[in-house]
């Protein structure tokens, strides 16, 4: 693809971001189907919840020039999302790039491919998501190919600059802010009700009776 460098997206809605930090991310899976990255794309460094604004970078298999440029532009709360074009041999993300991101206050990094320098990445503590690790790295070839802040694909999910990246030990969700806002209130209500539900289970109540699943099956079998 030709070289494409676009402006950084609009700032993240801080109020929405703070509310998203309070929700259990798997609860969002009760209300959404889209936005969930490939389950094999997992956290390899860092801890806790990741909430941030997607800054998208499209590299080639061997050239990380654009990623180095992007690392000098990000700020607090940004999550660099790297589309490697499907490459699973080279690591564009390693100790130097992750330190560059952390030094600027970035919230995390996601690579639709591999990373390297895993011990150093874990020492930095920045949340990093990748498919795996390798000692084979990208180079600074300076190819006129790739993009910054253009649409990319990561973990099978289409990602636009400015989308919200949510990550924890379960995996990643990347979606437009508006889509997450649409379901957030219901998800937070579910989270608030869950402790009482679990208490009832330990008191002996059957799960199907509490959720309505047993009554649904009764109606289905009665109508046959």
Angle, nearest 10°, between helix axes 177-202 and 14-22? 20
- Which among 144, 143, 87 has a CA at the least distance from the CA of 111? 87
Tokens coding 157: 């999910």
The Cα 110–Cα 59 span in angstroms is 13
**Is 46 assigned a ligand-binding role in the annotation?**
no
**Is 94 assigned a ligand-binding role in the annotation?**
yes
Instruction: Check: CB of residue 35 under 8 Å from CB of residue 157.
Output: yes
**Is 51 assigned a ligand-binding role in the annotation?**
no
Instruction: Check: CB of residue 45 under 8 Å from CB of residue 126.
Output: yes
Number of other residues whose CB lies within 10 A of the CB of residue 207: 11
Q: CB pairs under 8 A, 24+ apart, for 14-23?
A: 16/164, 16/177, 16/180, 16/181, 16/184, 17/51, 17/52, 17/77, 17/164, 19/184, 19/188, 20/51, 20/164, 20/166, 20/180, 20/184, 21/49, 21/51, 22/188, 22/191, 23/184, 23/187, 23/188, 23/191
**Is 52 assigned a ligand-binding role in the annotation?**
no
**Is 117 assigned a ligand-binding role in the annotation?**
yes
Tokens coding 19: 């509310």
Tokens coding 119: 């011990």
Residues in the annotated binding site for substrate: 94-97
Could you list the residues known to form a binding site, using ranges. 94-97, 117
Give the annotated binding-site residues for Mg(2+): 117
């Amino acid at each position: 693809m030709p070289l494409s460098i676009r402006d950084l997206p609009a700032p993240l809605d801080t109020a929405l971001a703070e509310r998203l930090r309070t929700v259990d991310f798997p609860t969002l899976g009760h209300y959404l189907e889209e936005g969930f990255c490939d389950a094999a794309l997992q956290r390899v460094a860092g801890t806790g919840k990741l909430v941030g604004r997607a800054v998208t970078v499209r590299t080639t298999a061997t050239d990380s020039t654009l990623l180095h440029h992007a690392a000098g532009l990000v700020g607090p709360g940004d999550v660099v999302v790297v589309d490697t074009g499907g490459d699973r041999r080279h690591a564009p993300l390693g100790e130097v790039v992750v330190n560059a991101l952390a030094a600027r206050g970035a919230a995390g990094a996601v690579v639709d491919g591999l990373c390297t320098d895993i011990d150093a990445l874990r020492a930095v503590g920045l949340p990093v998501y990748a498919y795996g690790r390798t000692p084979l790295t990208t180079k600074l070839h300076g190819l006129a190919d790739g993009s910054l802040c253009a649409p990319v694909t990561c973990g099978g999910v289409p990602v636009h600059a400015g989308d919200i990246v949510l990550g924890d030990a379960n995996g990643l969700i990347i979606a437009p802010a508006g889509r997450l806002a649409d379901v957030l209130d219901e998800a937070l209500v579910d989270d608030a009700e869950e402790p009482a539900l679990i208490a009832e289970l330990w008191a002996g109540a059957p799960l199907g009776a509490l959720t309505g699943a047993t009554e649904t099956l009764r109606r289905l079998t009665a109508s046959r």
